[in-house]
Structure 1
Amino acid sequence: METVLIVEDNDEMQQLLKKVLQTHYHILSAYSGTEGLLVFNENQVDLVLLDRMLPGKNGDEVLKELRQSTAVPVIILTALDARADVAKFLLAGANDYIIKPFDIEELQARIRVQLRDHISPEENASVTYKNITLLTDIFSVTNGTQTVLLKKKEFEILKLPFKHPKQVFTREQIYRAVWQADYYDDDNTMNVHLSNLRKMLQQLDPENDYIATVWGIGVKLA
Structure 2
Amino acid sequence: MRVLVADDDEQLVRALRITLSSHGYQVIAAPDGVSAVTTAAETHPDVVLLDLGMPRLDGVGVIQALRGWTNAPIIVVSGRTGSAEKIQALDAGADDYVTKPFQIDELLARVRALTRRAIPGTADPVVTFADVVVDLAATLVTRAGARVHLTPTEWRMLEYLARTPGALVTRETLLKGIWASEQITDSGYLRLYMSQLRKKLELNPSRPRHLITEPGMGYRLDLSDASSPPVVVGEE
Q: Taking structure 2 as the reference length, what is the TM-score of the superposition? A: 0.50
Report the Cα distance in structure 2 between the residues aligned to 1:102 and 1:81, rounded to whole angstroms. Answer: 12
Dislocated runs of 4+, deviation >4 Å? 123-130
SS at match of 1:22: helix
CA 1:59–1:124: 2 relative to 1, 3 Å: closer
Label 1:30 to 1:108 Cα distance change in 2 as closer, same or farther (>3 A).
same
Secondary structure, counterpart of 2:108 in structure 1: helix
In the alignment, which residue of structure 1 is the partner of 2:118? Answer: 118
Q: Which runs of 5+ in 2 are unaligned?
A: 127-134, 140-236
SS in 2 for 1:40: helix
Are residue 73 (structure 1) and residue 104 (structure 2) matched?
A: no
| Percent of residue pairs identical | 31
2:13 is aligned to: 14
SS where residue 90 of structure 1 aligns?
A: helix
Go from structure 1 to structure 2 and tell me whether the alpha carbon gap of 1:113 and 1:42 turns closer, same or farther (over 3 Å shift).
same
Residues 49, 76 of structure 2: 8 Å contact kept: yes
C-alpha contact (below 8 Å) 2:47/2:73 kept by paired residues? yes
Amino acid at match of 1:18: R
**Cα distance change of structure 1 residues 89 and 28 upon mapping to structure 2, 3 Å threshold:** same
Please name the residue that 1:52 is paired with: 52
Shift of 1:38: 1.2
Deviation at 1:82, TM superposition (A): 3.6
Deviation at 1:84, TM superposition (A): 3.3
Q: Secondary structure at the match of 1:61?
A: helix
Aligned pairs for 1:1-222 (under 5 A) are 2-23=1-22, 24-122=24-122
**Please, which moves more after superposition, 87-96 or 2-11?**
87-96
How far 1:32 sits from its partner (Å)?
Answer: 0.2
Q: Structure 1 residue 106: deviation in Å?
A: 0.2
Change in 2 beyond 3 A, CA 1:37/1:103: same
Partner SS for 1:29: strand
Q: Deviations over 1:131-188 (max 9, x none)?
A: xxxxxxxxxxxxxxxxxxxxxxxxxxxxxxxxxxxxxxxxxxxxxxxxxxxxxxxxxx
CA distance in 2, matches of 1:49, 1:66: 12
Deviation per residue, 1:16-65 (Å, 9 max, x gap): 11111112200000000011111111113100001000000100000001
Q: Secondary structure at the match of 2:87?
A: helix
Q: How many residues align?
A: 129
Output the TM-score relative to the length of structure 1: 0.54
CA distance in 2, matches of 1:38, 1:129: 19
C-alpha distance in structure 1 between counterparts of 2:62 and 2:125, whole Å: 28
What per-residue deviation string (whole Å, max 9, x for no partner) do you get for residues 97-135 of structure 1?
1000000100000000010011144379899869xxxxx
> Which runs of 5 or more residues in structure 1 are unaligned?
131-222
State whether residues 3 and 28 of structure 2, in contact with CA within 8 Å, keep that contact through their aligned partners in structure 1. Answer: yes
The verdict on how the C-alpha distance between 1:15 and 1:82 changes in structure 2, with shifts beyond 3 A counting, is farther
Change (3 A) 1:113 1:34: same
